[in-house]
Amino acid sequence: MSISSSSGDVLASALAVLLVLLACVELGDAAAAVSVYRLIQYDLAGAPLGSRAASVNHHAAALPLPAGADLSRSALVAPLLDLPLAFLREYLVQKKHLGALLILLPEKFNDKDAAANNDGNGQLKGALAELEKLLLHEEVPYPVYFAFQDDNFDNLLADIRKIASSGQPASATTGGYKLVVSSPEPKKVASPIISNIQGWLPGLKGEGDTEQLPTIAIVANYDTFGAAPELSVGSDSNGSGAVALLEIARLFSRLYSNPKTRGKYNLLFGLTSGGPYNYNGTNKWLRSFDQRVRESIDHAICLNSVGSWNDELWMHVSKPPENPYIKQIFEDFSDVSKEMGVSVGIKHKKINVSNPRVAWEHEQFSRFRVTALSLSELSSPPEFLESTGGLYDTRESADAESITRTVRVVSESLARHIYGLKGRNFDVFAENSSLAINPRYIQSWLDLLSRTPRVAPFLQKNDPFIAALKKELSEHTADVYVQSDVLDGMFTFYDATKANLNVYQVASVTFDLLFLLVLGSYLIVLFSFLVITTRVWIIPILQL
Amino acid sequence: MTVFHFLNCAALTFGPHVVYYSATPLSEYDTIGTCVKAAVVYLGTALVKLVCLATFLKVPENDKFDPYQELMKIFIGFIDVAGLYFALTQLTHRNISQNHKFQAVGLGWAFADSVLHRLAPLWIGARGLEFTWEYIFQGLEANANLVMTLSLAALGSLMWLRKNKPRTLVPIIYACALLLATMPSITSYLRRSLEWQTPRVVGFELFSSLAMAFISWQLFSACQRTM
């Protein structure tokens, strides 16, 4: 009795283990699994914007749509250039529902050398910019994902169109392709942190100098904002500015390393964050300074988008150009640029203190009564959340030559100002000298930044990228410090920015039912055949 | 939909075995014990085959058809025949006629083969969302395998259990048995060297299994008549 019950127990436990094992087996693999990047989801002053959902489990549909197609339970797959914005706008304005939207971006954005591509290039940039503008400022209740178009997707689209052309839209009863993204519910990013990295190059205090040396600050914001946070690499806005700052730091650290060539100005380098959000980070950074340090800043040069210009650079100021300080700085820049064969123009934009919109970084300095200017290739101030490193701003939209030119303009004029070389006609940072600007350094840092998405709320305090910037700045400057602060409450961000899309080819329910019917009849036929042959016929044979 | 598909394919793979058992007189004579014993012998044979394969075969560098490896595989395939011999002759069965013995052994053998080779892929693969024809082909192969195993068991019982056979038929019996025993190698040759697609291979298997079944049936009834 006991033996049989113990064997029964063993059997039962073995069965239980087997069942658990079977249940753990992962369900089958898909025809294709692709990385997809979600449209940003954020609240601006309480108003929900961006894509508000993340998981997808819908049948795929493609343009052109068959007549009477109900898209509220389909995922629309559309290449960027095939997606008419009017159609999308209509859907958003009329609050019509889509199951999901998958936008396919071309793999390589542009080839600057190919003249033939220029038309397509411009069209692409325009389409992307418009799409980004539309999606960023609307509340989209369904998931919107971006993916790169490749052969798999081309085949998928062709197949979907073939199925659709047979007259039936994809649904549970007709089979087709199913897109599945299993993503957790997007959660708020609790306290988005902005990290400002600063470094000093202390100047040479003479024997009799008792007061603080004046400081010249060079600032650039390194973070980005775009429609797809995982794709916002912002090469031009503002990767170019950050790279230029690093190169200027490197050049001046060589000069300042020798006490004989150390200038009588301190140099402060600041890589700030929170740029797209009205330069909130710069504000917090300046606020963190001691008032005396702030007052010792002679002027600040802010670099913003300096990666794709040829002949004209713009200097944006908030003080009137007649101001003697501004005039002197502008003359320095003009002299150097004339020698280089390019021009620097000056643009004046008054600050409206009551308007919270801060279009240029120098305006934050001006609010603290520090003379400042912004150097940029843009001639007019960018709109809110524009030119902040969106989808189009990839490695190809910035080039090392423009950044090299910017570095030359800034560093030469700075050197002339610090060392009092006005009027003397020679280059401090001449080519083939030990102080030559290093284009390979610029290129390798630009490459790195173009591979790193840098949307501030998704960069943790201990992110390896921030550590890398800190380390690089420590190589060139002293007293490197990372000042972290929380982004102001106007913005709230949500996570779940990247996911895996599985594409399954599914058979319709009718197919399964049909198969069941065929199978049933086969088994019945087999049964009758066997009964007849073995019981009805064999018996006479056996009786022979 | 996916569990539905799994159930469909499982019915296709294992249904015929159940149908065969219940439709023929096997169920009347309660030959389930024989089937189970044959299944156990199959498991043992499969284990021995695995060990031999692991010991004697090299891991192929490319997918080409290597004649020496295939010859080795054929020899190892004969272990199958030895297993069937063991199941037919050495095991003590209850008092059932020759006729039913080979059927029960063949059925148990084929059922164990299907379970061992096809249940796990079916469980893992057919339940996913993705639809492929693979599992339906696998089910058809299981059907063909059942027929071939029954034919082989019939010829085996003719060879080893029946003492007086007509002289002329003996070489034919041995030839057919050889053909059936080497059938797995033939299909792998077709698949790899001639690069036949799966539907074609499955069609060939079904056709050849029916042909061999017909031939063995004729041989069996011929031997039966002369008794």
Contact assessment for residue A265 and residue A213, using Cβ atoms and an 8 Å cutoff: yes
Q: Does residue A518 sit at the B interface (CB-CB below 8 Å)?
A: no
- In this prediction, residue A94 carries a pLDDT of 78
For every residue of A21-78, DSSP letters joined together read HHHHSPPPPPSEEEEEEEPPEEEETTEEEEE----EEEEEEESSPPTT--GGGEEEEE
Give the Å distances, CA to CA, from A13 to A22, A24, A138. 14, 17, 56
The ipTM of this complex is 0.87
Q: A240-257 vs A439-449: helix axis angle to the nearest 10?
A: 140
Nearest to A70, CA basis, from A168, A138, A166? A168
Is residue A154 over pLDDT 70?
yes
- Host H or E run for residue B172: helix B169-181
Q: Does residue A506 sit at the B interface (CB-CB below 8 Å)?
A: yes
Q: Encode A207-216: b = buried (16+ Cβ within 10 Å), e = exposed.
A: eeeeeebebb
3-state secondary structure A290-320: CHHHHHCEEEEEEECCCCCCCCEEEEEECCC
Two tokens, residue A280: 């909130």
With CB atoms and an 8 Å threshold, state whether B130 touches A515: no
The neighbouring-strand residues paired with A344 are: A313
Residue that wins the pLDDT comparison between A218 and B100? A218
DSSP state, residue B115: I
Q: Tally the residues of chain A.
A: 544
Q: How far apart are CA B52 and CA B36, in angstroms?
A: 25
pLDDT in tens, B88-116: 777 776 667 777 788 888 888 999 999 99
Show which of residues 22-41 on chain B sit within 8 Å of chain A, judged by CB atoms: 22-25
Is residue A476 over pLDDT 70?
yes
Candidate from A250-264, A288-302, A386-400, B19-33 with smallest mean pLDDT: B19-33
Q: Pairing state of beta strands A478-486 and A139-140?
A: unpaired
- Edge-to-edge order in the sheet of strand A343-348: A343-348, A312-317, A372-376, A297-303, A215-221, A266-272, A193-201, A478-486
Q: Pairing state of beta strands A100-105 and A139-140?
A: unpaired
Q: How confident is the model at residue A117 (pLDDT cuts 50, 70, 90)?
A: very low
Residue of B130, B135, B147, B220 to mutate for A, most A C-beta atoms under 10 A: B130
What's the start-to-end Cα distance of chain B, in Å? 54
Four-residue CA torsion sign, A210, A213, A214, A219: negative
pTM value is 0.78
Nearest Cα of chain A lies from the Cα of B68 at a distance, in angstroms, of 36
Q: Does residue B82 sit at the A interface (CB-CB below 8 Å)?
A: no
Q: How far apart are CA A417 and CA A457, in angstroms?
A: 38
With CB atoms and an 8 Å threshold, state whether B125 touches A28: yes
- Report chain A residues whose CB lies below 8 A from the CB of B16: 523, 526
Candidate from A275-289, A413-427, B140-154 with smallest mean pLDDT: A413-427
Degrees (nearest 5) of the Cα angle A10, A11, A13?
65
- Give mean pLDDT, residues A146-163: 84
Q: How far apart are CA A81 and CA A86, in angstroms?
A: 13
Contact assessment for residue A195 and residue A205, using Cβ atoms and an 8 Å cutoff: no
Nearest to A480, CA basis, from A488, A489, A471? A471
Q: What percent of chain B has pLDDT over 70?
A: 93
Four-residue CA torsion sign, A436, A437, A440, A445: positive
Nearest Cα of chain B lies from the Cα of A480 at a distance, in angstroms, of 54
Is residue A27 over pLDDT 70?
no
Instruction: Using CA atoms of A533, A537, A538, A539 in order, give the dihedral in degrees to the nearest 10.
Output: 140
CA atoms within 13 A of residue A232's CA, in its CB half-sphere: 28
Q: Which of A175, A502, A534 sits opposite B25 (nearest CB)?
A: A534
Show which of residues 110-139 on chain B sit within 8 Å of chain A, judged by CB atoms: 123-131, 136
